[in-house]
Amino acid sequence: MNLEKYVKISQEVKEAIKEKKPVVALESTIISHGMPYPKNVETALEVEKVVRENGAIPATIAIINGEIKIGLTKEEIEIIGKAGLSVTKTSRRDLAYVVANKLNGATTVAATMICAQMANIKIFATGGIGGVHRGAEKTMDISADLEELGKTNVAVICAGCKSILDMGLTLEYLETKGVAVYGYKTNILPAFYTRESDFKVNKINSEQEVAKVLKTKWDLGLDGGVVITNPIPEEFSMDRKIIDKTILEALKEADEKGIKGKDITPFLLDKIQKLTSGKSLEANIELVFNNAKLASKIAIEYSKLD
């Protein structure tokens, strides 16, 4: 397979992979679709800084003019950030089209996992994974992230699944796909904006334990990802009752406007941001920083075993 024709790995990331140094993959949909410019670019650069400060090499992933770039330059992050919603939100189904037509694409969790695996990067930090949408028994609206987790050998460090989703069905789906979901120092599944939910997960107590589990899983030939959920820091956690009420309001408006499919998540996140007077955006940014920090520590421990 001639991946070099399509994939361009930055020199820094290439050398880090070759020398088995810790590398953390980062997605780009959060830049294009997660928040407005210039906040998106500032946040993306700050996340990379957090990764570096915690001892790992950041590898932000996106498609620029049809090239899968693993390790973006500051200028390339700026391109994705400025273009915003006009950049193609790229999941597994979109990758070949975006690359073939030499377009710009922002990678979702699923596409970032695929590209990370192409470069042999095992650790990926993001905000929250996609999942089973509320009402999916009628709409069949289920994120491709879950299918990808069932087959792609990348660990995803996140703040749980986005609380706009049906968290119970998301856990059931992941269980069916054989995907382990762990809580970092907690047995409660965090709900993105808040540390609380009604769902339990297996607790994992240290970065070293995470690394051992990952190494053992893939050594045994058990393909697929692992989800490490990392609760948002206490000081930025939002009141659960308030965020639940806000989500229901946003879902009602989305339903009334007929918004669905790949447009639903950006709409809901934007609506929730407005309804919370920007507090949800601040929480979103802080939880991404927190996940990048933990992912870096896990990557360090995994690099010792690899």
274 contacts: CB under 8 Å, gap ≥ 6: none
Q: Which of 27, 78, 207, 301 is catalytic?
A: 27
Would you call 253 a catalytic residue per the annotation?
no
Residue from 69, 89, 122, 162 carrying the catalytic annotation = 162
DSSP 267-304: HHHHHHHHHTTTHHHHHHHHHHHHHHHHHHHHHHHHHH
Residue 57's H or E segment, with its range, is strand 57-64
Task: Extract the tokens encoding 161.
Answer: 């699944």
- Could you tell me which of 91, 39, 36 has the C-alpha nearest to residue 266? 36
Q: Which pair of tokens denotes residue 84?
A: 């915003």
Whether 162 is a known active-site residue: answer: yes
Q: How many helices (H) and strands (E) does the chain have?
A: 13, 11
Say how many Å lie between the first and final Cα of the chain, rounded: 24
Positions marked active-site: 27, 162
